[in-house]
Structure 1
C-alpha cells in the first residue's frame, strides 16, 4: 500500500462511519454495512465515487433513479430525493455532466421546485437538457409494469454513462413492492427497475444506495439481508404474498447507510476528495434549503410529517452529517501532505496490508 492509497482508504472509512451512525440504536444500518462491506471489500463511498470518476465525462447523461411513495397519504418521501437533487448538482460541478432524475409522477413538481435551490435549470425534454448548460432533467417513469419496458428502452437508447439509484423502490422475487413493515405498495411505485435492469445488462456502470432492503439493488447481498434484517425473508411481510420485502434487483456497486440520503452524501464527499474540489459537496445551507423546499412542496418525512425531515431525522441532524463529511474530507484535501512524516512509519508497521 502506498501513502496515497492509505489516505484515500481512510477518508473513505471516515465517510462510511459517518453515514452509518445509528441514533435509533436497533442496528440495521450496521447489519447492512457488514454485508455490503464484505461484498465491496473496501470503503463503500470511495469505491462508488471511483466508479463515477472513471465513467463520467463532460456532457454525459447520468440517470438518477429515486422516489418511494408512502402510505397512508400516498405521497413521496424525502429520503432519496433530497440527495438525488444534490447529486445532480455534484455531477454538474465535477464533470459538467447532464443528470436526469427518473422518478414517480408524484415527485416531478417538487423536484422542479428544488432544482433552483441547487442552481440548475430543469427540463422534462431531454434534448434540451443535453443542449443547454447548467441543466438537469426529470422524467416521470410509469407505474404500469406492462409499459415499463418500452419506456426503459427509450431512455436506454440515449446511452447514459452511469446510473445511480437512491432509495428507489424495488420488487421482491414475486414482483411485489413493499414498504418498510411489509405492506404491499406495488400500485404506487414507479417501475423504474425495468430501466435499471436494462442498463445493467448493457454494462452501464451502476451504483445502488439503500437503507433497509426493499430498494433497487439490495438483492446484491440478499442472503445476508434475509438472515439478519426483519421482514425481508419469505413469509415475513404483512401483505400475504409470502415473498418478504427484499428487493430482488442486483447492482454491481452498492452503498448502504442509516438512511439513503446519508449514503449519497458520502458518495459526493468521496467524489470531492478524488477531484480535490470541495465545492462538489454542497454546503450546509443548501442542505437545509433543499429539505425545506421539498417539504413545502409535499414531500413527507418517513414519519408522515410535512416538516422537513429525513427518516425521522431533523434538518439539524442532516446538516450536521453533511458538515462533518465536509470537514473530514476538506481536511484531507487541504492538508494532505502536512503529516507525511507519519505515513512512512505507519506503513512500515504493515497494519494496513
Structure 2
C-alpha cells in the first residue's frame, strides 16, 4: 500500500476532478459543504469506508432511476448503473463481499446486463454463498424493491434482518423530500413507479449501519446531509414545480456523502481510490470498461435523461467525457500503483 501522505494527495485530486461543475447544477457548493462536514476528502472517506467492510461481508447497493414513468416504468436513465457496477466490482475483488443490488423490478434487466458487462455474474443469494466459499466466480445478487411506501418500509425491515449488511451504498438514487415527494432535477413529481429504497437507508442509519451515498443534484439519497445548501444553491432546491410546498432536496442523510458533477464520475473516482489503497490496478474502472458499459446501457435502452434520448451521453455529457474521467482517475492514482 502507498504511504498515507501520497494517498491523501491523490484523494484530494480525485475530489477536485469530479466536482468541476460542468453542468451548472450547483454541485461545487454541495461539495464545499460536504467537504467541510467530512473534514477531509470525500472520495477518500468513501474509499476508506468501503475498504473497511469485513472480508467476506455483505454490502447492499442501490441505483437506477425510473425516468419517464408516466410513459412507461420500463425506462431508466444511464447515470447510476455503470457507477454502481464499478463499485460492486471493486468490492468483490478487494473484499470478497456479497453484493446485493436493489432497484425497481422494471429496471432489473438493464442493470443486470450492466453489472454483467462489468464482470459480475448475476446469481441468487444461495448461489452467491457457494461462489464466495470457493472463490471461483465474481457474482452479484439482484433483487427488486417495492414501489409503494408501505411495501418499502416492510421490505426495509425484512432485508436488514435477512442480509445483516455491513454497509449500504447508494448512487444516483432519488430520495423523497420532507413532504414525501420524489422530484426530478426540473422540480416535477418523479415518484410514480419508483422504488422506495430510501426507507431502507433511513432504517440502516437508525441502526448504526454505515451508509455511503453519491449524488450530483441534491435530490438523491444522502443529500439530506447538506439539505440547507441544496435549498440555497440548487435550482428548485427550495421550491419545486409540483406544488407540494417543498423543494427537490432528499431528506435521507448518510455517513459519507460523495458529490460529483455526474454521479458515475464519483463512483469511478472511488474505485480509483480503492485501487490505490489496495495497490491493485484490477479495482480500477478503466476507460475501456467505461466504453463497454456505455455501449451496454445503450443496448439495454437506458436513456440520457438530460436529452431524453437513448445514446451514450450521460447527464448531457458526451461519451468521451466519461472515458476521459476514467483515464484521468487512473492517471491520478498511477503513482500509488
TM-score range, shorter chain: over 0.9
* CA-atom RMSD in angstroms: 1.5
Work out the CA distance in 2 between the residues paired with 1:115 and 1:53: 20
Does residue 261 (structure 1) correspond to residue 264 (structure 2)? The answer is yes
Taking the TM superposition and a 5 Å limit, the aligned residue runs for 1:1-353 are 4-24=3-23, 26=24, 28-54=26-52, 56-71=53-68, 73-74=71-72, 75-123=75-123, 125-132=124-131, 133-157=137-161, 158-233=163-238, 236-302=239-305, 303-331=307-335, 333-334=336-337
Deviations along 1:236-293, whole A, 9 cap, x unmatched?
Answer: 1010101111101111110011011111111111111111112101221111111111
Kept in 2: contact 1:178–1:185 (CA 8 A): yes
Quote the offset at 1:84 in angstroms: 0.6
Kept in 2: contact 1:149–1:194 (CA 8 A): yes
Quote the offset at 1:70 in angstroms: 1.4
Greater alpha carbon shift after TM alignment, 95-104 vs 254-263: 95-104
Matching residue of 1:346: none
Gapped regions of structure 1 (runs ≥ 5): 335-353
TM-score normalised by the chain length of structure 1: 0.89
Quote the offset at 1:128 in angstroms: 2.1
User: Considering only CA atoms, is the larger Rg found in Structure 1 or Structure 2?
Assistant: 1
Work out the CA distance in 1 between the residues paired with 2:116 and 2:182: 32
Deviations along 1:110-146, whole A, 9 cap, x unmatched?
Answer: 12222331222102x3222222231101111110111
Gapped regions of structure 2 (runs ≥ 5): 132-136
Work out the CA distance in 2 between the residues paired with 1:69 and 1:175: 17
Work out the CA distance in 2 between the residues paired with 1:83 and 1:64: 11
Aligned length: 326
SS at match of 1:88: helix
SS at match of 2:192: helix
Quote the offset at 1:231 in angstroms: 0.6
Work out the CA distance in 2 between the residues paired with 1:120 and 1:230: 37
Work out the CA distance in 2 between the residues paired with 1:282 and 1:224: 30
Deviations along 1:175-226, whole A, 9 cap, x unmatched?
Answer: 0000001101112211001111111222111101111111011010111221
SS at match of 2:117: coil
Deviations along 1:27-74, whole A, 9 cap, x unmatched?
Answer: 6121111111111111100011111122x1232111111111113654
